[in-house]
Amino acid sequence: MKKRIVSVLLIAMLICVCVVCIYVFSLHVDGSVLIPEGEITEIRVRLSLEEEEYTFTGDSAKKIIDYLSDLSLISDFEEDPEKSNGAAWFITLVYEDGREICIYHIGNKFIRNGESDWYKMYYRQAEKFDKLMDELK
């Protein structure tokens, strides 16, 4: 009888762990959700505090796409991105068919494209964009 109770408790604990893992993983989204399908011909980047806009093509544009695609994003959070402080990067993806999609990268904390919900970024990943821009400019 005692072994049966221990077995039942062990199974119940495993089920709880699985449910928690499924919930946690469902909150994380791959950065590629920010990038609609299509051929990107150029990327324009501007920092909100500056007037200068930088244009990237080829390998430089690929580095920016790789950065965005590799982000691990959090879809469920309590903060309000609209009230976030910090500089904002405006990353405009220009497609072969003429479409332009703007990605808002705010305060190394939040990101979205003009058509998506807000996502929260992990700071260690988000801060890499500043370094990437320093490298590419």
- The percent of residues above 90 in pLDDT, for the chain, comes to 64
Q: Average pLDDT over the chain, rounded to whole? A: 84
Is the confidence at residue 25, as pLDDT, over 50? Answer: no
Q: Which amino acid is at 128?
A: K
- The pLDDT score that the predictor gives to residue 83 is 86
**Distinct helix (H) and strand (E) counts, the chain:** 4, 8
Classify residue 60 by burial, with Cβ atoms within 10 Å: 0-12, 13-18, 19+: middle
Q: Which strands sit side by side in the sheet containing 88-95, from one edge to the other?
A: 28-30, 72-74, 119-121, 110-113, 100-106, 88-95, 40-47, 53-56
- The pLDDT score that the predictor gives to residue 16 is 41
Distance separating alpha carbons of residues 66 and 61, to the nearest angstrom: 9
- The pLDDT score that the predictor gives to residue 1 is 66
Crossing angle for the helix pair 58-70 and 128-136, nearest 10 degrees? 180
Predicted confidence band at 10 (pLDDT cuts at 50, 70, 90)? Answer: low
| Domains of the chain as residue ranges with CATH | 30-136 (3.30.1490)
Identify the residue with better confidence: 9 or 58. Answer: 58
- The pLDDT score that the predictor gives to residue 23 is 36
Average pLDDT value for residue range 96-106: 96
Nearest to 100 by CA among 35, 26, 29: 35
Distance separating alpha carbons of residues 94 and 42, to the nearest angstrom: 5
